[in-house]
Chains A and B, each alone.
Chain A
Amino acid sequence: MTMLTLAWRYLTGYARATDPATRNAPEWPPHPARVWLALAATFFETGANPAEGEALVWLASLPDPALWLPATGGSRRRTTTVYVPVNDRPEGTGQLQSAPLTRSKQPRTFPTVWVGDAPCYLHWPDAPGAEAHRPALAQLCAKVTRLGHSASLVQMWVADAPPTPEAGFVCWLPETDTEDWLADHQLRRLHEASSLERLREAFAAGRHPTIGLATGYRPQRDNPRAAMTALKATAFDQDLFVLAQTDGPSLPVEAALQVTQALRATLMRGSPQQPPPAWLSGHEADGQPLADGRGHLAFLPLPFVGYEHADGRLLGVALAFPPDIPRPKRGAILRPSILDARGQPAAIQLKLGRLGVWVLRKRAWDDTRATLRPETWTAFPEGAICWASVTPVVLDRFPKANRLLERAAWEAEVGQLLFTACRRAGLPEPVVIDFDPTSWHVGAPRAVAKERPLRGQTLPRPAQAKFGGGFPPYLVKGATAPKPQLHVFLQFAEPVVGPVLLGAGRFFGYGLFKPLKPRHPRS
């Protein structure tokens, strides 16, 4: 089979192209037909070489291509309306005819997407006849200067092969499985642009070309493990299902336990199968906890942390599934709670007592908040070497050594417990472990609230006064005292794909890690 790959790089790092249906939104992923139209525009502007024309006609006859886009690209900013001076003649007296201040300013937007330095690719795995047209296409690509808006400058070329997931790229494929309601469908249009003849007519009439038929494109996640054989993954599926908060009070991440427990109870109640399956409840039908190594659903609180102005606010909750539960099974159990009768995202109300009522909905695919993107928490597909907790890791048992009197032994024992926890979570052994009450992520509160004895009390055990923020203790069922909880830094020898969850409270969101840029641990 002869394949064909076209590549381009945004020279400014930004892609500027307006969504054809909404002036205020950028078009991302880039429309395959837009690439074809950029080639066609270059063809007309540079002398209409017949060989190039034939190559364009042949290119339009190929089926829908796959898109390979940088995994880190495509982040949008909130669209801002700006006021630009218009070209009208200024109104007023003759003396002020040329004064720019007399011209009005009118609103418009400049929708833009940050892509970065990495190139983007269109790939046809089977393109019969590609060899014959390759020289003409290469010649044409070399002359393309822009893709989309005239400020969206690009360099384009014919590449030898598409990139790989290991290199940090995500493959987008034309949608075929429309049954998968858990997927984030992103409607894009088919690579089926107007013919060159129609383009000539449109140009002669002073009109922009239109692009017609449409199909869906979605990131390839059906078999992610096959695509990342070189990477280590955890015991949870990296395809997180994200619920975003749409109503209710703003809650700090310290309230994570109340939220995740309430959400679990809601999903358990809504399950059409009663008692709910073990992968949802974590218990066998007789009420005994799962003991044969099978995984179950984990609830991840998603706080706004790790950025300069992060405040630790909870923006939503993610569900992490055991990877061996097929998607249709997940859908059959969760659908009644998450979608309404018409198949639209339903409002999930969580009654949190004094904290009020929190409302969650399935995250909209175009929600641009990084905290609500699964990749923020999984580092999919390229993985991450360094991870640090945003909620405290609860140790599986009490260390035997005394923390105050035998500090070195206590630290060694805690390190050993964390090694064991990593193994249990399906992670490789870390090369560096560090722990501390304070998180490595900006905005994440301390692992426990600081306390000091109340002044003026002389009792043998004076009452403690809390000061500063911190997570409430996680009390394991049946335990009389909470186990130690700490923030943890992990560094692995090779990239790891998350979600990374460690410790006793990992199914309720304690011990949740977020990727960290490589750096030295504190100690």
Chain B
Amino acid sequence: MTQGLRELVLRGLDGMTPLGFLAALGLVNVLRHQAETSDIELAWTTDDGGWVAKLRSSAVLDQQGLLDGLDRALVKALAAHPAKLYEAQKEKFVSVRRAATRFQRQEVDFLAAIGSNLASDEATSQLQTTRRDYHLGNIVSILKNTQRDHLRRTLFKPWDYADPLENQSLHLDPSEDRRHAYQWNKPSGDPNRRKRGGMLGANRLALEALGWFPTWPVGGALKTLGFSGFGKDETRWTWPIWTPFVPADLIPSLLALAPLQDDPIAEADRRRLRQMGVVAAYRVQRILVKKTPNFTPARKVV
């Protein structure tokens, strides 16, 4: 059944970090909309002390081909990306919903991930960790500035965090928790932020994964798939790591597994997860460092 399928290990995409996991999901989301890689499947494999992404498809999977495909698929302008829906969401809800089809639903997925017409305008997804006033500007920069080499370093090399952070980050990596007392420079206006600290390619791919994390209104706020709890000390995101190859359409179901949200996860549930091929789960806490939300480093919970 697996004859003729090619596999490719992406040593850069580390599933133990929130940004690495989202970048892998974003990559799969892009590839599944391309004709030659529409049967793309994702699994995780151990490599050098961590879980890294592994792709499988009937198409030829190699570094060059993957980067060529991404060059073609990743748009540079906000107007061509569903992120444009951050502007004037409410008015767009009905029109976007009507325009969506079974095969063309990126916009409606993205809209469901960033807001709800039943929630207030102030409510944001729990996956959004940049400040509201910077968020769209950062997305515009990410779309515009990402080059082929950023993607190559993100996918195939251990991350070197050699890209500037300032105004071009989704703030999803725990290393961006730069508290004042732990670093040389004052966080606001830190000259290093203009030189290094981020992985632009990973942020670009993570942007493509947001559509897999729908939100829904709860008590005036937005709850996001995969998250549990509210408030600055109680919001946690848990994601699974699986070893069998899983087609792209099945990934949202894995993200939504209810037992992942328990603390601790009961042994019976762990057993069931193992039977499904989920060999690990990582959890981050969404904390507030002064005014900015941040993810803590991930802790293994299964």
Contact = CB atoms under 8 A, between A and B. Distances in A.
B262 A211 contact: no
Given A21-B299, A88-B186, A106-B181, A210 B50 contact: yes
Contact of B185 (A23, A88, A195, A343): A88
A343 B48 contact: no
Given A178-B267, A342-B266, A343-B266, A198 B180 contact: no
Contact of A187 (B14, B51, B299): B299
A201 interface: yes
A20 B297 contact: yes
B48 A198 contact: yes
Given A86-B180, A108-B181, A207-B161, A198 B49 contact: yes
Nearest to A339: B266
Interface string B179-191: 1111011100000
A32 to B, nearest CB: 12
A255 B180 CA distance: 49
Given A178-B270, A181-B267, A202-B158, A193 B49 contact: yes
Given A108-B182, A201-B160, A344-B264, A212 B16 contact: yes
Interface in B9-44: 14, 16
A194 interface: yes
Interface string A155-187: 000000000000000000000001101000101
Given A343-B268, A344-B266, A195 B296 contact: no
Interface in A94-129: 104, 106-108
A218 interface: no
A21 B162 CA distance: 23
A274 to B, nearest CB: 24
B179 to A, nearest CB: 7
Contacts of B280: 213-214
Nearest to A179: B267
B158 A198 contact: yes
A205 B297 contact: no
A212 B196 CA distance: 24
Nearest to B177: A23
Given A87-B184, A108-B181, A212-B49, A21 B298 contact: yes
A363 interface: no
B63 interface: no
B132 interface: no
Contacts of A193: 49
Contacts of A83: 181
Contacts of B296: 21-23
Contacts of A344: 262-264, 266
A21 B160 CA distance: 21
A192 interface: yes
Interface string B193-208: 0001000000000000
Interface string A220-253: 0000000000000000000000000000000000
A7 B157 CA distance: 35
A108 B179 contact: yes
Interface string A67-107: 00000000000000001101110000000000000001011
B46 interface: yes
B300 interface: yes
Interface string B277-300: 000100000000000000011111
A179 B270 CA distance: 10
A162 B160 CA distance: 40
A441 interface: no
A83 B180 CA distance: 11
A210 B280 CA distance: 17
Nearest to B300: A214
A189 interface: yes
Interface bin, chain A: 35 or more
B162 to A, nearest CB: 7
Contacts of A192: 49
Most buried by A among B160, B161, B296, B300: B300
B268 A201 contact: no
A342 B272 CA distance: 14
A303 B264 CA distance: 28
Contacts of A207: 159-161, 175
B196 to A, nearest CB: 8
Nearest to B279: A213
A453 to B, nearest CB: 58
A180 to B, nearest CB: 9
A187 B300 contact: yes
Contacts of A343: 262, 264, 266-269
Contacts of A84: 181
Contact of A106 (B158, B160, B161, B180): B180
B50 A212 contact: yes
B235 to A, nearest CB: 15
A254 B43 CA distance: 59
Nearest to A198: B48
Contacts of B175: 207
Nearest to A205: B160
A206 B160 CA distance: 8
A342 B262 contact: yes
Contacts of B159: 205, 207
Interface string A140-158: 0000000000000000000
Given A21-B298, A21-B299, A108-B182, A210 B49 contact: yes
Central interface residue in A86, A88, A108, A212, by most chain B CB within 10 Å:
A212
Nearest to A82: B181
Contacts of B51: 212-213
A332 B299 CA distance: 30
Given A210-B50, A212-B50, A344-B264, A21 B161 contact: no
Nearest to B160: A205
Nearest to B268: A343
A189 B162 CA distance: 28
Interface of A: 20-23, 33, 83-84, 86-88, 104, 106-108, 178-179, 181, 185, 187, 189, 192-195, 198, 201-202, 204-207, 210-214, 342-344
23 contacts: A21-B298, A22-B299, A23-B296, A86-B181, A88-B186, A104-B180, A108-B181, A178-B270, A187-B300, A193-B49, A195-B49, A198-B48, A201-B158, A204-B160, A205-B162, A206-B196, A212-B51, A213-B46, A213-B50, A214-B280, A343-B266, A343-B268, A344-B264
Given A210-B16, A211-B49, 4 more contacts: A22-B299, A86-B181, A210-B49, A213-B280
Q: Which 6 A-B pairs have the closest CB atoms?
A: A343-B266, A212-B50, A214-B300, A108-B181, A212-B49, A106-B181
